[in-house]
Amino acid sequence: MSNQMIKGNTAVVIGAMYAGCDCFFGYPITPASEILHEASKYFPMVGRNFVQAESEEASINMVYGASGAGHRVMTASSGPGISLMQEGFTFLAGAELPAVIVDIMRAGPGLGNIGPEQGDYNQIVKGGGHGNYKNIVLAPNSVQEMCDLTMKAFELADKWRNPVIVLADGTLGQMAEPLEFPTEAIKPSEKDWAVKGNKETMDNLITSIFNDFSDLEDFNYKLQEKYDKIEAEEVIFDEYKVEDAEIVLVSYGISSRIARSAVDKSREKGLKVGLLRPITLSPFPTKRIKELSDKGVSFISVEMSNGQLLADVQFAALRKEDTYLVNRMGGNIIELKQVLAKIYEICGIDEEIDTARKNIEKDIPNIID
């Protein structure tokens, strides 16, 4: 297949369109706006729907409407916009509506800045809105995966009637890599539960209301059973040189690219270091981490957040001992030497690494919008 140099944000739109998404609703926000731009360009070219909504609240509710009408639908945003959408997330989960939401994470809290970060982890992976619900969360780490996992997100959303979030960051959105296009375009199948404004579907109802307490309790249990099944069937992770590893880096998204480089550098020194990369953050590869934990490996969570991933690693490993955090926040990308310094420290290698001189990228992007 002919590869093209494609930006991560564009790859999301390509994946969505080949997956049969025909409704895009969104609101501008850096660094996710390019998804909006590309959708506004390409969706109408093939008669599909694009609306620039008045807010993220409106976007996610437009998603609710089109999803309830049985269409494959998506929106994309970044931290502050994703926060505004939380009402919609829980309504989608409560009405069991499939939808794909792409979060191109930026640095927070508040307006923060437009640099890349992974601080939305808890909000996305743990739910974020009210009630006992979960999102399915996919974490790409390359332009190819921005496309492929967006397609996968539509498949999972329909299969489980659940919102699926593609959790990426500003770096993945901005960078370009060769993209191998999807082999074919999907025409979505009809959904018998949808409300489409026709005779066949007029008895259907899209709602998250259960007035009877016991009915709502039953529904909550039903949801938990669904999440259990998802956890049993849908966990995806990628391992790199984990087999004989004594130190396992756990990392997703852009951080995992740096972690992978750290594995290579460490292996050059003969250190037994590997990388476990969760591709589904929810469901989390709990079982695999427990297995590794039982083998007695050390874990280093490499993340651009305040230990949010580390907490899940510790929870899965059932221990806090011998687990470490290497992180950056505020829009800074983790540096290879930071990760190496921690590995050498754990291995007791006395190597001078100058980690004092921080990445200079940080003083570059400083706008807020």
Residue 352 is a binding residue for other proteins (CB under 8 A) = no
Residue 49 is a binding residue for other proteins (CB under 8 A) = yes
Residue 187 is a binding residue for other proteins (CB under 8 A) = yes
HSE-CB at 103 with a 13 A cutoff on CA atoms is 34
HSE-CB at 358 with a 13 A cutoff on CA atoms is 11
Among 9, 67, 162, 251, the residue binding other proteins under the rule CB under 8 A is 67
In the complex with other proteins, the residue whose CB is nearer, 22 or 120, is 22
Q: How far is the CB of 181 from other proteins (least distance, A)?
A: 5
Write the binding mask 258 to 297 for other proteins: x where contact by CB under 8 A, - elsewhere.
x-xxx-x---------------------------------
Q: Which of residues 206-245 bind other proteins (CB under 8 A)?
A: 206-209, 211-212
Residue 329 is a binding residue for other proteins (CB under 8 A) = no
In the complex with other proteins, the residue whose CB is nearer, 356 or 367, is 367
Distance between CA 266 and CA 269 in Å, rounded?
Answer: 5
In the complex with other proteins, the residue whose CB is nearer, 175 or 236, is 175
Q: Which stretch binds other proteins (CB under 8 A): 68-76, 156-164, 220-228, 281-289?
A: 68-76
In the complex with other proteins, the residue whose CB is nearer, 42 or 219, is 42
Q: How far apart are the first and last CA of the chain?
A: 38
Residue 330 is a binding residue for other proteins (CB under 8 A) = no
Which tokens in the block code for residue 258?
Answer: 């740096």
Among 15, 26, 81, 88, the residue binding other proteins under the rule CB under 8 A is 88
- CB-based contact 101:77 (threshold 8 Å): yes
HSE-CB at 117 with a 13 A cutoff on CA atoms is 28
Which tokens in the block code for residue 275?
Answer: 């990388």
Distance between CA 27 and CA 251 in Å, rounded?
Answer: 30
Among 109, 189, 190, 199, the residue binding other proteins under the rule CB under 8 A is 199
Which tokens in the block code for residue 291?
Answer: 């297995």
CA distances (Å), origin 214, targets 64, 87, 133, 227: 26, 23, 17, 20
Q: Which of residues 95-124 bind other proteins (CB under 8 A)?
A: 95
Which tokens in the block code for residue 61?
Answer: 């509710």
